[in-house]
A and B are shown apart, each in its own frame.
Chain A
């Protein structure tokens, strides 16, 4: 304290000078509009620069919270979309067209359970009998064959996946029209085998394989995949490997196709067997 007082006494003129200049500047800034404006503007310029930096930094630290809010908003919007889409779906599956003799009825569903790593794979849809689905309806994903419904409860359906060794699909090669039976060999999620194509037919890699429509389950012309490999065997038939178009590991939204003429067709066929 003594030192401080000594200091002040020693430099008294400096302190008096600073005090008097302080008073003068106070008068200057309060008494003159022009100077007041300039000073306020200058101070604001400095503080704005600082505030900008601070707000940039805090914005970075708030990113997590912002991300969370966005995710919540996203969920909300997704649910809204979901509700709107569900509303559209009602239009689909409640139509029974008796005027135009519509053969196929389309509906959409979402996969709620799926497996690809077993020999007999099934997946589950979130719609059932109450939504118009029935056994033996075809299931397509991204406009390519994915499976057949084998069981329905009120609100859920179970689908035999194409990746099931019991599954048989009547398919044909688009370029020449020869048909055979497509089945899965239980090994590779991406590939299936097309059997019963006679060896005199010319086949080339890259040919499209599509459904034939003979089974009365799938409409004709639904794509299955493309030929990725084939080889002659000792028998009369090729051994053809088909690269499946549907990616069963990420099935989500599927279309369900019902054939309204199926009962009629089967009845007729049965009566002549």
Chain B
């Protein structure tokens, strides 16, 4: 128990540091802003209770907002991601369920499963985040392009990190 809390705490700190120190400084033409901290929501144990997941997501977003100076923006997007995660997991459930292993990792459930899982949640999160950032539906296509490009890069980096975490 203590062991797993420490493990997820470490992952959390590493991801936040990575996000704040590295990925927040990628300013590639304003369209590409990868947000890999979302990976923390992705790798939490599958059987985690929904309220704990939501609270975790809330504080993750809150800390991101503290670093980026945008109160509420990351928080609401991340809480939304935490809210849809159980549904995504239910839809993607393999034939014999998740009982065998509680860790939603690429190593156990395969690249394809992990890719779809990441894609769904990252798209939800980024859509919410970028539309909250502009906060209007004028320039809809422009915002959508930012969502898609940033999602592409976020997913790529998350897959890479997942590979580093479990792929060896």
Give residues in A with beta carbon < 8 Å to B: 12-14, 16-17, 20-21, 23-32, 34-35, 38
Contacts and interface: CB of A to CB of B under 8 A. Distances in A.
Contact of A34 (B54, B80, B135): B135
A32 B55 contact: no
Given A31-B71, A32-B71, A24 B51 contact: no
Contacts of B72: 24-29, 31-32, 35
27 contacts: A12-B50, A13-B50, A13-B54, A13-B83, A16-B51, A17-B79, A17-B83, A20-B57, A20-B79, A21-B76, A21-B79, A23-B58, A23-B75, A24-B58, A24-B72, A24-B75, A25-B76, A27-B65, A27-B72, A28-B72, A28-B76, A29-B72, A31-B70, A32-B70, A34-B135, A35-B132, A38-B135
B3 to A, nearest CB: 27
Contacts of A29: 72
Contacts of B58: 20, 23-24
A12 B135 CA distance: 29
Interface string B68-84: 00111101100110110
Contacts of B104: none
A94 B26 CA distance: 99
A14 B54 CA distance: 10
B136 interface: yes
Contacts of B82: 17
Contacts of A25: 72, 76
Nearest to B57: A20
Given A25-B76, A35-B135, A38-B136, A20 B71 contact: no
B80 A21 contact: yes
Interface string B101-145: 000000000000000000000000000000010011000000000
Given A13-B50, A13-B86, A24 B76 contact: yes
B34 interface: no
The 7 closest A-B pairs by CB, nearest first: A28-B72, A31-B71, A27-B72, A13-B50, A24-B76, A24-B75, A27-B71
